[in-house]
Chains A and B, each alone.
Chain A
Amino acid sequence: MKHCCALSRVAGAFLLICAVSAAAEPYDDVRAAFVAGDLDTAETAIRALLAENPFDPDARLLEAEWLRQRGSLAEARARLVLLTEAFPSRPEPFNNLAAMAFDAGDLAAAESWLAKAVATDPAYRRVLENLDALRRARAASAYRELLPNAEADAAPAPLTTFDRFAVPGVCPAPDPTP
């Protein structure tokens, strides 16, 4: 899926910025591994985080991202759904589910997940940006179908994901570590 590479690039850039700007974060090893495309190291770091605190929601978000990057999409989606149930008032897992649906080309599902993310916090900037990007993508899709003979053009911008919660929280029940 063409969105996937672009999304990875954006996520990578985001993670790199986080890694540079927050050197003291305990999640740096995971982010650095994602940036390097080293999923084995990422797995080891995530295991360490979850061994230290199985209730760490940020580690669970990273775990879902690791599963997504590994190609275990159903598992990644299941982890994120669990997080939406654990944190129904937080937009991050809804947003990331939207990004996964977007990457899969299911724009209707992406809009549905984003609507839930917006419902949790109507002023959350990145979610609103993603909603705007999604609507652009839906428009582009509709008009490419409408105007199939027009000249070629660039793919729409991907959605961005969260790798941590903005507000600290605790997972109610740990899931099996990867």
Chain B
Amino acid sequence: MNLRRLVALLLLGPCAPVLAADADRELAAALQAMRTGDFANAELHAAAALAYAPDFALAAALQVDVARLKAGLGSRLAGDLDDLADDSERRAWLQWRDEARQRSLALRVGTYAAGLHAVPATIDELLIAETDRSQLHVVTRGADGWRVTVTHYLSIGRRGIGKQRAGDRRTPLGLYWIVDRLEDRQLPARYGPLAFPLDYPNDWDRRKQRRGDGIWLHGTDPATYARPPRDSDGCLVLSDEDLLSVRERIVIGETPVIVARRWSFADRPSASDELPAVRAAIDAWVRAWQRESGERAPSKLAVAELFVADYPSEAGLVMARFRLIADVAGVSRSTRKRLYLALSEAGQWTVVADGSG
């Protein structure tokens, strides 16, 4: 925490929690106030956002815009940029405009995530990134389903989604797992205090000839509270505070990260109709795998810790990940398997790709 933030929080009072969500909430309230022309509340909430996050550039830009509108000038955020000769300044305002638009989208908090057909008991939380909405949802296991407990503002690749090759500055869409945790001292400053590498490219990506690597979930430069909606080299970027709040929820090798343009959420939980048929296809694949093992065929095979979810942006495709426990000559071995199953026109689930890990 820097000195300015400490002073701001002291001024706000000892009860003010040091949560980035507070700055985001204040900014959203300021934008909402502007929709009714309520200058006083817009100024109040923008100032509060800056008190929580002094490097919140959009909040500072909003203050400038309020002052302009009060003086009878046009709104920079709404596109009154004709008198700006400086291209970099124009670009900055356009990025803030995009950020304001994305931040004004409704949050998913409280809704139930669809498309999660099976999640092992070892996982209580997972992450769903919706790139079209610039939102990262923390989805938590509940008694009746998987519910969004918090939504964070998210930045993605400068050139959007659909990563195909190294250096294309696009964010891949897919279902990944966090495989490592890199600490502050291992990282250049621009990644913030922490980084969580994802296992891109997965088997499905390789099948689709998608190249490149190094897709991380990470924080921001120390001088920046939040980055524009499209600003990274392909990584998923949160504010440092949001990343730090998410870190305790991440279990390396276990926490799935769904990266989709949009994901399906509902006000009520829904049971998976597909699971029995998908499970039958998985069991058939396991039996075939056993037959093909030849002499070293295991005497006993079991599927454990089964995870099955819709694959993002691929209609009729699900991904299954599980632990295959095999008894061979009295020794029990466990390996991770991944299957990609497609729904045929005849309504049958078929394994179309597989892998390990």
Contact = CB atoms under 8 A, between A and B. Distances in A.
A111 interface: yes
B342 to A, nearest CB: 34
Interface residues of B, number: 23
Nearest to A143: B34
A149 B72 CA distance: 25
A25 interface: no
A123 interface: no
A140 interface: yes
A147 B100 CA distance: 8
A137 B72 CA distance: 11
B75 interface: yes
Interface string B47-81: 00000000000000000001001101011011100
Given A137-B37, A139-B39, A147 B31 contact: yes
Contacts of A153: 32, 35-36
A35 to B, nearest CB: 28
Nearest to A138: B69
A136 B66 CA distance: 10
A143 B78 contact: yes
Contacts of B38: 136
Interface stretch (B2-10, B101-109, B115-123, B198-206): B101-109
B97 interface: yes
A153 B77 CA distance: 19
A142 B104 contact: no
A150 B35 contact: yes
Contact of A156 (B37, B70, B75, B78): B37
B323 to A, nearest CB: 42
A151 interface: yes
A114 B90 CA distance: 30
A45 B295 CA distance: 110
Q: Considering residues B37, B70, B72, B106, which has the most beta carbons from chain A within 10 angstroms of its beta carbon?
A: B37
Contacts of B39: 136, 139
B72 A147 contact: no
B35 A147 contact: yes
Chain A binding surface SS class: helix
A149 B106 contact: yes
A146 B100 contact: yes
B104 A136 contact: no
A134 to B, nearest CB: 9
Nearest to A111: B72
Given A135-B72, A147-B101, A149-B104, A154 B31 contact: no
A143 B105 contact: no
Contacts of B97: 146
B72 A142 contact: no
B69 A142 contact: yes
A138 B101 CA distance: 18
A156 B38 CA distance: 9
A172 to B, nearest CB: 33
A145 interface: yes
Nearest to B42: A139
B183 to A, nearest CB: 38
A147 B173 CA distance: 26
B35 to A, nearest CB: 5
Contacts of B66: 139
Given A146-B97, A147-B104, A139 B32 contact: no
Contacts of A140: 34-37
A149 B105 contact: yes
A70 interface: no
A9 interface: no
Nearest to B68: A139
B26 to A, nearest CB: 15
A142 B77 CA distance: 9
Given A146-B77, A153-B35, A156-B37, 9 more contacts: A135-B70, A136-B36, A137-B37, A139-B34, A139-B75, A143-B77, A146-B78, A147-B104, A153-B36
User: What are the 9 A-B residue pairs with the smallest beta carbon separation, nearest first?
Assistant: A136-B37, A142-B78, A140-B37, A147-B104, A143-B34, A142-B75, A139-B69, A150-B104, A146-B78
Interface of B: 31-32, 34-39, 66, 69-70, 72, 74-75, 77-79, 97, 100-101, 104-106
